[in-house]
Structure 1
């Protein structure tokens, strides 16, 4: 592989493995196929990889088999337990099949301590690993405009940046685990921003404002945000399809809170957001997108954005 030399990574000298074809992973992997890379894919349900196979990807029946055919292996799965299984399982995991000099890039949002453990295991196997979670949602994945937070060896990050550039913009954050810490800080920021977006809509609705006009009015001022741009109109259109699942966000915020306990930090906004998102799970709404937070606030206030503005009469 080119990453083991000074030769730049390219489709001519680097084969790629991809594990995980969910909302994000499928779009991300497609960019590498379209860029000309030979890509082998694995996912627990083969039917979920059919669109990638139709683009020319090859199929592997295990992470081990996939890794044996790949110079660089990407993973983007659901939970830390999934990461541990697909990477560290002694017989079927990636590191049991990756050749010496291979690179593993885990893009799942996961525990920083697990990223450090994987880095140590990869080093022992004469391989390299990066923790490189991403931000930008389903839209960023489709457009190849994700923010990629890389932790691990800087030289390895530099060598694989030509690959990562097809997915978005790379930010090197430091040693093993630092990519995960950056993503968790990102989630802390998003959580409180989403609470503010939804509470603002609830307030504006109760005040009788036209919500489309309201969003337009605040979007170019200090209240403007990426969350507003991505999710404001989805909320108004009652479009709660997942660009990022509530279930996965609850997982991320739970990791954040555990890290806060380890650090001795008190982040009350994070704790409040976690409770609101847990209430969505309790109502069976865990497979909706994070913008569904508005449903929890509607229930708290016994109103619906669909009807409240129309019920306000001019005095």
Structure 2
């Protein structure tokens, strides 16, 4: 069934997500801090709003695809925040990667306003957003998930993983696996190259084996071709590994592999590569081995 939806944050991921919601027959009201990103969405049928509070008026659900927790808090609950304009019983789905405690605090604030809440971060990058096959990890009540599942299904594969905060927890698990695999793929390709093998042929030879993965296929190719146009910027990967380590520490859990990988991404950002795709971690490993990049 079609519905009116609000959507805040139409960047690399958000813009194609809006297009998929429109293609599914929904009416979508949009706002983005950088207004130039909205022209193409308006041409596709989205209603451009002048401030966040306008986005939520008449919307059955509000979806947020923003950079971090403080930005979500400000645009949801700050002056002219979007949450205040929603009718009671509407759903707020925060699809950003934010800390677990932040998601739980947002859920409590929404509950006080009479709103349902989901923390529903995604994985799949720009390609997954364009193709509408994002992995969507949703935390919140079963009722909130049932209410939003139809909308989220236009964007990918939503799975209800537990109460509020659990979507973000699942995303942290995802990010640790992605970050560690990216670093390992980069190390493997460097080993092949330094040893005299053709990295592209090694990648081809591993296809179908236990080492194969979407990361080896997609990001391995990026590494070989030095194509680091951002689908998932390294600075956000670094933010997520840092957040995962903080969450683990709060649980008394040591994650030694994640700690090393987090250090690599922090160094990559410090070196000025934070806006490159996270596959650019191979550049940081080249630096660590004395190569110029």
TM-score band, normalised by shorter chain: over 0.9
Worse-matched range after superposition: 115-124 or 38-47? 115-124
Say what the alpha-carbon RMSD is for the aligned residues.
1.2
- What are the equivalent positions in structure 2 for 1:105-254 lying under 5 Å apart? 105-254=93-242
Partner residue, 1:269? 257
CA contact (8 A) 1:40 1:69 kept: no
Larger Rg: 1
Normalising by structure 2, we get a TM-score of 0.97
| Cα distance in 2 between the residues matched to 1:55 and 1:234 | 30
- What are the equivalent positions in structure 2 for 1:81-96 lying under 5 Å apart? 81-89=70-78, 91-96=79-84
- What are the equivalent positions in structure 2 for 1:19-38 lying under 5 Å apart? 19-38=8-27
Query: Unaligned stretches of 5+ in structure 2?
Result: none
* Residue 42 (structure 1) aligned with residue 31 (structure 2): yes
Partner residue, 1:313? none
CA contact (8 A) 1:147 1:169 kept: yes
| Cα distance in 2 between the residues matched to 1:19 and 1:28 | 11
Say which SS state the counterpart of residue 284 (structure 1) adopts: helix
Runs of 4+ residues over 3 Å off in structure 1: none
Query: Unaligned stretches of 5+ in structure 1?
Result: 1-9, 306-315
**1:36-83 CA distances to partner (integer Å, 9 max, x unpaired)?**
211100000111111111101111122211112311110011011111
**1:196-224 CA distances to partner (integer Å, 9 max, x unpaired)?**
10000010001110111100111211111
CA contact (8 A) 2:56 2:86 kept: yes
Q: Offset of 1:303 from its aligned partner?
A: 3.6
| Cα distance in 2 between the residues matched to 1:283 and 1:113 | 30
Aligned length: 293
**1:264-311 CA distances to partner (integer Å, 9 max, x unpaired)?**
111111111111111111111110000000000111112479xxxxxx
Say which SS state the counterpart of residue 227 (structure 2) adopts: coil
CA contact (8 A) 1:85 1:93 kept: yes
Normalising by structure 1, we get a TM-score of 0.91
* Residue 51 (structure 1) aligned with residue 40 (structure 2): yes
Worse-matched range after superposition: 151-160 or 132-141? 151-160
- Out of 37, 54, 74, the residue aligned to residue 65 of structure 1 is 54
| Cα distance in 2 between the residues matched to 1:93 and 1:270 | 35
CA contact (8 A) 2:4 2:59 kept: yes
| Cα distance in 1 between the residues matched to 2:210 and 2:149 | 34
| Cα distance in 1 between the residues matched to 2:258 and 2:77 | 31
Say which SS state the counterpart of residue 118 (structure 2) adopts: strand
| Cα distance in 1 between the residues matched to 2:227 and 2:138 | 32
Say which SS state the counterpart of residue 212 (structure 2) adopts: coil
| Cα distance in 1 between the residues matched to 2:250 and 2:207 | 37
CA contact (8 A) 1:88 1:118 kept: no
